[in-house]
């Protein structure tokens, strides 16, 4: 039995899920804490100061907010205001969700009807087939449908009733009808005149029904395809309308700080207090090409001609896997929301205290990917998958029918199926490196990427520590605290 080899990222994800705090602690480089308490000015400025410092020192354009929570004591005016807002927003969201549910049910019903129509249409196609076996099987199938759905409405005069009733003595009628191939064939059958007269009339009626019902099936199918397209468009519109309300309602969720941790000395239910926790992350990558030969410092710009596409490909190949300095900041606010009047307008500000905890880590590319993967369980995923997830099992069928409708109606751009199935990613054409572009770090020639990565970690660790200290010192200066001159 061949054992499945797990992806390195998936293996790391499993380790993180077991104990994330312990996993992060092993990779920690440094940790600093700051606390500021002021009752004369707004505390929001410290968050913006932190973002400014991260941008200046780390320069990470992909800086991200990885967590945000808020809470309030039960007597807080902020608590009552948010609860009232959320209730109103949820009322609108429920209305849209009810409409979405109705449309989804309609789409599912349409799909089952279209599948049934496809089966019937295929029978009609086989009825016109040059293959005698297919034509015979289709003829038998259509005759059964005719007897069960059309002829049965005649009551006691139907083929089934006449054939089964001893009163009329037409026992051969059903078998003769199923065997009949044409008017000429019926005339040649050895039947009595009474049975033959009935059979000729019913067979003529059957032939006309086949022609009419075939055309009716095609028209009905076109109508249902058009209706399916309209319903999918409606579902898309309703989802767009509902999404802002659902996101807003989720963002206004409170963390129950007033009852979940009664031992916290900073949580006083009799006080008008609010609590915010914000987590921010920035990261900086170091490649093997960022270092000079020997004991030199950082040299980010290399001397190869980057304007040549092949040279760029060679440079990327020689960089190998990077090592990241990951810098996280956790801001914990304990504040009192206060309103001030500015130019005859009431503006809210938060006064109180903020604790800033800075941490730095050293992670490889696989570790960064694994960490971000574990955090992708977004609380808003039900919003993003509102339309697609509810129809997961039927997405291919919807796409097939909508593509068919668009082709018949000559829709060239923005087909309806694109709203159900994601676009396929096209592979990019990568230029092959030219032989003239050679390695510019001759001291590293090992083919073993792991050895090179471990060597890079040794070089990067002091750089992360140095940059982290600079971030801490600059943040202290921005917040007005004492720092290194």
**Angle at alpha carbon of residue 68, lines to 63 and 70, rounded to 5°:** 155
CB of 280 closer than 8 Å to CB of 46: no
CB of 354 closer than 8 Å to CB of 35: yes
> Each residue of 46-101: pLDDT tens digit?
888 888 888 888 876 668 888 888 777 767 777 777 788 888 888 888 888 888 88
CB of 286 closer than 8 Å to CB of 325: yes
Cβ atoms within 10 Å of 231's Cβ, excluding its own: 20
Question: Which residues of the chain fall below pLDDT 50?
Answer: 1-3, 258-259, 293-315, 377-380, 382-383, 417, 420-447, 483, 485
Q: How far apart are the first and last CA of the chain?
A: 65
Alpha helices in 278-378 (DSSP H): 309-319, 365-374
Backbone angles phi, psi at 241, to 5 degrees: -70, -35
Cβ atoms within 10 Å of 23's Cβ, excluding its own: 17
Phi-psi region of 352 (alpha: psi -120 to 50; beta: other; left: phi over 0): left
d(CA 67, CA 314): 38
Residues forming beta bridges with residue 480, ordered by sequence position: none
CB of 351 closer than 8 Å to CB of 40: yes
The whole-number pLDDT of residue 292 equals 54
Which H or E run contains 83? helix 77-127
DSSP 313-332: HHHHHHH-S-EEEEEEEEEE
The whole-number pLDDT of residue 482 equals 55
69: three-class secondary structure by DSSP: strand
The whole-number pLDDT of residue 10 equals 83
Which H or E run contains 406? helix 395-408
The whole-number pLDDT of residue 409 equals 74
pTM for the model: 0.56
């Amino acid at each position: 039995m061949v054992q499945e080899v797990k992806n390195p990222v998936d293996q790391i994800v499993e380790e993180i899920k077991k104990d994330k705090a312990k996993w992060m602690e092993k990779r920690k480089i440094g940790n600093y804490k700051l606390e500021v308490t002021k009752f004369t000015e707004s505390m929001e400025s410290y968050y913006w100061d932190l973002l400014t410092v991260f941008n200046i020192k780390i320069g990470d354009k992909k800086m991200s907010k990885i967590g945000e929570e808020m809470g309030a004591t039960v007597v807080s005016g902020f608590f009552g205001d948010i609860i009232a807002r959320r209730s109103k927003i949820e009322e609108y969201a429920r209305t849209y969700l009810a409409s979405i549910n109705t449309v989804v049910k309609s789409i599912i019903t349409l799909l089952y009807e279209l599948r049934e129509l496809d089966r019937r249409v295929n029978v009609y196609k086989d009825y016109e087939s040059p293959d005698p076996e297919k034509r015979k099987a289709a003829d038998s199938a259509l005759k059964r449908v005719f007897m069960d759905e059309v002829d049965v409405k005649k009551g006691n005069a139907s083929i089934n009733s006449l054939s089964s009733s001893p009163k009329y003595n037409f026992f051969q009628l059903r078998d003769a009808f199923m065997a009949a191939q044409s008017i000429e064939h019926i005339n040649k059958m050895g039947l009595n005149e009474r049975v033959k007269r009935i059979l000729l009339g019913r067979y003529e009626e059957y032939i006309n029904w086949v022609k009419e019902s075939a055309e009716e099936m095609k028209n009905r199918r076109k109508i249902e395809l058009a209706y399916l397209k309209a319903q999918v468009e409606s579902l898309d519109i309703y989802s767009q309308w509902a999404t802002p309300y659902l996101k807003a309602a989720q963002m206004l969720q409170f963390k129950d700080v007033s009852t979940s941790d009664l031992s916290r000395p900073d949580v006083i239910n009799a006080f008008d207090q609010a609590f915010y926790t914000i987590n921010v992350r920035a990261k900086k990558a170091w490649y093997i090409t960022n270092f000079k030969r020997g004991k030199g410092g950082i040299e980010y710009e290399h001397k190869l001609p980057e304007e040549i596409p092949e040279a760029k490909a060679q440079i990327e190949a020689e960089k190998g896997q990077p090592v990241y300095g990951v810098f996280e900041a956790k801001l914990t606010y304990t504040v009192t929301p206060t309103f001030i009047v500015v130019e005859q307008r009431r503006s809210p500000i938060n006064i109180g205290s903020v604790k800033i905890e800075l941490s730095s880590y050293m992670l490889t590319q696989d570790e960064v990917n694994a960490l971000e993967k574990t955090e992708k369980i977004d609380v808003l995923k039900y919003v993003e998958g509102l339309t697609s997830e509810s129809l997961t099992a039927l997405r291919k069928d919807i796409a097939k029918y909508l593509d068919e409708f668009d082709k018949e109606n000559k829709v060239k751009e923005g087909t309806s199926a694109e709203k159900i199935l994601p676009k396929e990613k096209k592979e990019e054409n990568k230029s092959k490196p030219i032989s003239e572009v050679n390695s510019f770090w001759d001291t590293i020639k090992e083919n073993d990427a792991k050895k090179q990565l471990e060597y890079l970690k040794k070089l990067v660790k002091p750089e992360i520590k140095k940059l982290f200290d600079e971030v801490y010192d600059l943040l202290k200066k921005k917040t007005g605290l004492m720092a290194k001159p």
